[in-house]
Chain A
Amino acid sequence: MPDLNLSALQKALSSAALEPGGAFGPVVRLPLASDLPATCQQLRSQPEPGIDVLEDYTALDLGEGFELVLHLVSSADVTRRLTVKAPVSRQTPEAPSLVACYGSAEWYEREIFDMFGIRFTGHPDLRRILLPEDWEGYPLRKDYSDDKLLKRPGN
């Protein structure tokens, strides 16, 4: 794996659990989604990892709650990668927006809102991006269903 300085990173991200390895670099697990903006600012300003590109931003429905997944990479060295994960509760699906830190987060966050219904506080233009504007529900949630959807028989 790339020459990410893990110990320096761990020191900077004191509240986070850092797991080495993984297909997209080390995994940083944040205890709360509200830690995301501060963590991203730290990662950006770090001279050593210098992780300044948000390559992908998505979410998972884990049943009891959601998990935000960020894939970050350094523009100076694309082998320097990092995955950041943060939980979001099902009852209040809210997370702070990362648009101020990564401009590319704007459409990613709209897509996550569209598919999972997670609201990003501080987002400049949080509307549906792919589905029609009058769509009801969030189709990538595991408990989603509508009149038009046909369940596979036997499942």
Chain B
Amino acid sequence: MAVIEKISGMVEKFPGGGILLTTAEFFVNWGRKNSLWPLTFGLSCCAIEMFCTGAPRFDWARLGNEVLRASPRQADMMIVAGTVCWKMAPRIQRLYEQLGEPRYVIAMGACAVSGGPFHFDSYGTVRGVDKLIPVDVYLPGCPPKPEALLYAILELEKKISQERLPGRSPEEQRVDA
């Protein structure tokens, strides 16, 4: 019953019985946000902080952010950790398109957010990964600490928990602020 206590407010226990009442929307989002499978994908120094966040000291598996997948077909979340260069850009786009849907992207670090220290006077840097693929959460820092990445993952989970199921009208799909 521990799980039900954690999500209280969204689930009603039927008095005296083993029946729970909830909405499909809540249940689907709850499942998605608690089992994000990130792609094993790092570009530069931010990736070191990312691996550290996955290691036992910080252990992002506590958030349901489970094993890093080596194939984009087995993953649904991508942490763009590092500098995106023009040579890498087509590969990043292809990896994103291969991710299972619904897919999510965290832009980790100053480079992935805006180009960072390579924003000006750089021939090789893409000024932000959002020029290539949609980004859900922007995480500034150079590099961000593991705690900051955990916060970004929690923010992504918050965003996922507010999603509306497809098939609703655009007005209904709009997430209430």
Q: Residues of A at under 8 Å CB distance from B?
A: 130-132, 139, 144, 146, 148-153, 155
Pairwise interchain contact A151-B86, C-beta atoms closer than 8 A: no
Most A CB within 10 A of own CB, among B86, B87, B121, B123: B123
Tell me the chain B residues, 113-148 only, with Cβ under 8 Å from chain A.
Answer: 119-124, 127
Contact between chains at B123 and A152 (CB < 8 Å): no
Can you name the residue of chain A whose Cβ is closest to the Cβ of B89? A132
- In the complex, which of the residues A139, A144, A146, A148 has the most CB atoms of chain B within 10 Å of its own CB atom? A148
CB <8 Å contact, B121 and A150: yes
When distances are taken between beta carbons in the complex, the residues of chain B under 8 Å from A150 are 119-122, 127
Besides A139-B123, A150-B121, A150-B122, 6 other A-B contacts (C-beta < 8 A) = A139-B124, A149-B123, A150-B119, A150-B120, A150-B127, A155-B121
A131 CA / B127 CA spacing, docked (Å): 17
Q: Is the CB of A149 within 8 A of B121?
A: yes
Establish whether residues B120 and A151, one from each chain, have CB atoms under 8 Å apart when the complex forms: yes
A132 to B86, CA, bound (A): 8
Q: Chain B's nearest CB lies how many Å from the CB of A134? A: 11
Contact B87 A152 (CB under 8 A): no
Partner of A146, one of B119, B120, B123, B127: B123
Find out whether the CB atom of A152 lies under 8 angstroms from the CB atom of B86. Answer: no
Assembly CA distance A148 to B87 (angstroms):
13
Determine the distance from Cα of A17 to Cα of B66 in the docked complex, in whole angstroms.
Answer: 63
Chain A residues whose C-beta falls within 8 Å of the C-beta of B127 in the assembled complex: 150
